[in-house]
Every structure is written in structure tokens, then in C-alpha cells.
Amino acid sequence: DTAVSQTPKYLVTQMGNDKSIKCEQNLGHDTMYWYKQDSKKFLKIMFSYNNKELIINETVPNRFSPKSPDKAHLNLHINSLELGDSAVYFCASSQDTGETQYFGPGTRLLVL
Amino acid sequence: DAKTTQPTSMDCAEGRAANLPCNHSTISGNEYVYWYRQIHSQGPQYIIHGLKNNETNEMASLIITEDRKSSTLILPHATLRDTAVYYCIVRVVNYGQNFVFGPGTRLSVLP
């Protein structure tokens, strides 16, 4: 009965590859998010998305693209992976934009 | 940039109350104070939030000063499982406002 789930938990891949991380929430929330936590442990918003609008953090490279097949899912697709993309990626959701956010367990990405 | 200042680390004895301070001297009238924590290798966990009144739930209490320039998160009976990084965040609850996480306070609960 996990509220926000992510797959995979760990992802190890080579530079230049394309990969996707999946996120699902069963809370009935309308808004979902992706955050990145780097090696210095700072947690930064990458995207927020609901049925109406995608808000992109301007510092996020366009190699990163969120894809939402339906309201309960927000997947993160990353093209041409780079060493600096190694981090923990967290998905979150909230009832609406501006409400309390609930986080998933994270996906640990290591680019070699 | 985070609008809050927290101590880098704190220790607390198991079973005692853990009092985590947060300064937010530039807080606006419509900004709420939120607390999250992140236990090692897990996602951030919502704890509590408030605007100006003190709040209490099953996890913690939040005490906000009258001028709203600072607050304290209280874990009444800390356990070893409360060892985590605690984040104090101020934000407006409206469209487009996201959580900005600072470095937080690393709380170590000691046996």
C-alpha cells in the first residue's frame, strides 16, 4: 500500500545511454514532481507537473524529460546520460500544486 | 535559496525531547513553516506545518514564535529511529511554489 513508489531502486548505466525512471502514486493526487539529490545531499526540484501544466526548473538540461501517461504516473526519461547525472532522484506528489508533498523512496542512479 | 537557518547538527539522548530550532527572520505573512525529515537512504517524510499557531500531531509539535521569525520542532520522546536530517522550509501555499530544501539539521539520537 505504498503511497508513492519508484522503479528501479538502483540504476547503474554507462555514459551516453538513455534510461527511464518510473513513478506511481496511489493517493489520487493531481500534481507530481521530480527532485534530484546530489552527492552534497542538496535536494532540488526538477519538475512539477499536473494535468494542466508542466513547470520546468530552468537549470535542468533538456536531456531530462518528464512523461505522464496518466494522473497517477510521472516517469523521468534521461537521454545521453552524463557522469554528473549520478544522484538520487525522488518523485513526489501532492493533492494540488502548493499542497503538502509526499515523497517516494528514491532511485539511485550511477553513471559510469 | 533556502530562507531558513538551522544548526548543522544536534545530539539528543534516547527518550528525551528533541528540540530543533529554525530561524526564518524574513518570513512573509502568507508563508507557512514546514518540517520534513530524511532518514538515511529514504525519501523525505512530511512531519508537520503551520502558519502562526502552534501545531501538534502524532509525530511532533511545532512551536512558532509570536513574531514568526523562528520556530522549534519538538519530538517529545526521541527514539533511535528519529535519527535523520530535519529540514525546516518556508513557503507560500499557492500555485507554483515548490519546496526549497536547505542543508537541514542532522539529528543523532544516542542510546
- Chain A residues close to B87, C-beta within 8 Å: 43
How deeply is B23 buried, as exposed, middle or buried, from its count of CB atoms within 10 A (0-12, 13-18, 19+)?
middle
Question: Which amino acid, A57?
Answer: N
Say which of B44, B46, B93 has its CB closest to residue A98.
B93
Q: Summarize pLDDT for A37-64 with one digit per residue, the tens.
A: 988 888 888 988 887 678 777 788 999 9
**Between chains, do B49 and A55 touch, taking CB under 8 Å as contact?**
no
Q: Taking CB atoms and an 8 Å cutoff, what residues of chain A touch B90?
A: none
Grid cell, residue B25, equals 527572520
Q: Does A33 touch chain B (CB under 8 A)?
A: yes
Q: What are phi and psi of B66, to 5 degrees?
A: -60, -35
- Could you tell me if A48 lies within 8 Å of chain B, comparing CB atoms? yes
Count chain A–chain B contacts defined by CB atoms under 8 A: 46
Given a cut of 70, whether residue A10 has pLDDT beyond it is yes
How are beta strands B70-75 and B18-23 bridged, if at all? Answer: antiparallel
Higher pLDDT, B94 or B13: B13
Phi, psi of A13 (to 5 degrees): -150, 170
Contacts of A97 in chain B (CB under 8 A): 95-97
Burial grade of B14 (CB within 10 A; 0-12, 13-18, 19 or more): middle
Q: What is the pLDDT of residues B33-90, one digit of tens each?
A: 999 999 988 999 999 999 998 999 999 999 999 999 999 999 999 999 999 999 999 8
Confidence of residue B91 (pLDDT cuts 50, 70, 90): confident
Q: What residues are paired with B31 via a beta bridge?
A: B92
Residue of B nearest to A104 (CA): B43
**Closest B-chain CA to A46:** B98
SS3 annotation, chain B: CCCCECCCEEEEECCCCEEEEEECCCCCCCEEEEEEEECCCCCCEEEEEECCCCEECCCCEEEECCCCCEEEEEECCCCHHHCEEEEEEEEECCCCCCCCCCCCEEEEEEC
Report CA B40 to chain centroid distance, whole Å: 16
Query: Please, what is the average pLDDT of chain A?
Result: 90
A105–B49: do the CB atoms touch at under 8 Å?
no
pLDDT at A70: 87
Q: What are phi and psi of A47, to 5 degrees?
A: -145, 150
Say yes or no for a CB contact (<8 Å) between B46 and A55.
Answer: no
The answer for B45, left when phi > 0, alpha when psi is -120 to 50, beta otherwise, is beta
Q: Is A58 near chain B, with CB under 8 Å?
A: no
What does DSSP assign to residue A15? T
pLDDT attached to residue B101: 87
Of B46, B87, B94, the CB nearest to A100: B46
Distances (CA, A) of A32 to A16, A18, A52, B100: 27, 22, 12, 16
Length of chain A: 112
Residue B42 grid cell: 529514504
A7 touches chain B (CB under 8 A): no
CA distance A84 to chain B (A): 20
